Amino acid sequence: MSRFLLVVPPLTGHVAPLRAVAAELLRRGHDVAWCGPEPTTSELTRAGRVHAAGDALEFAVERRPEGLRGFAALKFLWERYLIPLADAMVPGVEKAVADFRPDVVLADQQAFAGALVASRRAVPWVTSASTSTELADPLGALPKIAAWVDGLQDDLRARHHVSCGDLRFSPELVLAFTTVTLTGPITGPGAVRFVGPALAPAPPIGFSWDRLDGRPLVLATLGTANAALGRRFLSECVDALAGMPEVQGLVVDPTGELLSDEVLLAKRIPQAEVVRQAAAVICHGGHNTVSETLACGLPLVIAPIRDDQSMLAQQVEAAGAGLRLRFDRVKAPDIRRTITDVLTEPAYAAAAARVRASFAAAGGVGAAADHLESLLQRG
């Protein structure tokens, strides 16, 4: 038996794949503990052993200003979120490592505190890359911005008296929860292992399945953190789907403000189960939603909002498994036309099926656990 400490930010999409990996490690007889800002880490992991590291309310994604795009969004992410989050989490991660004495620290790519503390204490650490964005070196063509990011990391390492390399990439192992079939060739760190999505079971959510009438189902969702920002886009989706009698539309509206007689509306859904019943999915490009959809071999319509979503939309489009829309500007006729394209042109479904096959071949949680055990066996 080995001990694994999973260090995470208070972000649903970053915790979700590690929940599945943690369950597999426990099944194999290992000991697993979590560390992250509370109370969100306990809520997201639903785990009994969580070491507190920072105040989740201070880093709630809902506090992020709306409308940030381009460099303004990147600047906020690094200066106002990732770096302060690392500083706030370090004391809690230090205590967790001292108390739990892990053999390996498995740190999310945005939870730098895990890498900092593990490096300082000479504990092997592994990176969990819940999204492929950083692996693709998005700042490679922007040397000044890349240097600015490097400088922020230099200052962070100096504050915590650590002299390791890039905190986003473990030199030992980076678990990438995707495949090259979706990302395209990536010339990233040599320790990257592509294992495909790690899809954990979601908490049970009630849903009236008898409302589905047998027509091809088109699901529109913007995830859990875009309720207010997404109202206009979701309203356009309702209008688009209402004008398509050949399909049945289901729009997830967390605010409960939208109204329609022609389209199903729900505040929450058991997403994985609903996706398995769908013909296509409209989303913002969140990694979990994209992975769940492609794991079912379904085409996507993506309207990215921020962060890694634009790159994921680009990957899906390049793979031929879907089409991209402008979140801020798209209107119902554009959405309707795009849905029709992905549903009627066989190439989109065929490309989605290729990605699904690559996900299955990559091994998922089993492969992730194998790589972690191999790291321990190598000493």
- pLDDT bucket at 379, cuts 50 / 70 / 90: low
Q: According to the model, what pLDDT value does residue 176 have? A: 95
Q: What is the pLDDT of residue 89?
A: 97
**Sorting pLDDT into bands at 50, 70 and 90, what band is 143?**
confident
pLDDT in tens, 248-270: 999 999 989 999 999 999 999 99
Task: Specify if 370 maps to a domain.
Answer: yes
* Residues 277, 187 share a domain: no
317: in domain: yes
Asked whether residue 279 is assigned to any structural domain, the reply reads yes
Residue 93 maps to a domain: yes
pLDDT-wise least confident of 29-33, 166-170, 207-211, 221-225? 221-225
Q: Domain for residue 104, yes or no?
A: yes
In whole angstroms, how far apart are CA 260 and each of 211, 220, 266? 14, 14, 11
Task: Indicate whether 337 pLDDT > 80.
Answer: yes
Beta-bridge partners for 7: 35, 107
pLDDT recorded at residue 312: 92
Residue 217 and residue 118 in one domain: no
Note whether residue 204 is domain-resident. Answer: no
**220, 191: one domain:** no
For position 186, what pLDDT does the model report? 80
Judge if 109 and 226 occupy the same domain. no
Q: Is a pLDDT exceeding 90 seen at residue 50?
A: yes
Give the per-residue pLDDT at 152.
Answer: 95
pLDDT for the residue numbered 188: 66
258: left (phi over 0), alpha (psi -120 to 50) or beta: beta
Verify that 247 and 177 share a domain, yes or no.
no
Note the pLDDT tens digit of each residue in 86-100: 999 999 999 999 999
Shared domain check, 102 and 136: yes
Clarify whether residues 42 and 156 are in a common domain: yes
Can you tell me the distance from the alpha carbon of 71 to that of 76, in angstroms, rounded to the nearest whole number? 8
* pLDDT computed for residue 139 by the predictor: 67
State the total domains in the chain: 2
Q: What is the CATH number of the domain that holds 109?
A: 3.40.50.2000
Q: What is the pLDDT of residues 163-202, one digit of tens each?
A: 888 999 999 999 999 999 999 888 667 789 999 999 877 7
Domain range holding 121?
A: 3-196+363-377
Confidence band (pLDDT; 50, 70, 90) for 205?
Answer: confident
Residues 181 and 72 in one domain: yes
* CB-based contact 100:60 (threshold 8 Å): no
- Ranges 14-18, 103-107, 128-132, 182-186, most confident: 103-107
- The long-range contacts involving 241-247, CB below 8 angstroms and separated by at least 24 positions, are 241/336, 241/339, 243/332, 243/336, 244/218, 244/336, 244/339, 244/340, 246/215, 246/216, 247/215, 247/216, 247/217, 247/218, 247/279, 247/339, 247/343
Regarding whether 125 and 191 lie in a shared domain, the answer is yes
Looking at the structure, do residues 52 and 92 belong to the same domain, yes or no?
yes
Domain contains 162: yes
Mean pLDDT of the chain: 92
pLDDT at 317 over 70: yes
Determine, yes or no, domain membership for 202. Answer: no
In this predicted structure, the answer to whether residue 114 has a pLDDT above a threshold of 70 is: yes
Q: Do 349 and 367 fall within a single domain?
A: no
Evaluate if residue 124 carries a pLDDT over 80.
Answer: yes
Looking at the fold, whether 24 and 137 belong to one and the same domain comes out as yes
239 pLDDT more than 90: yes
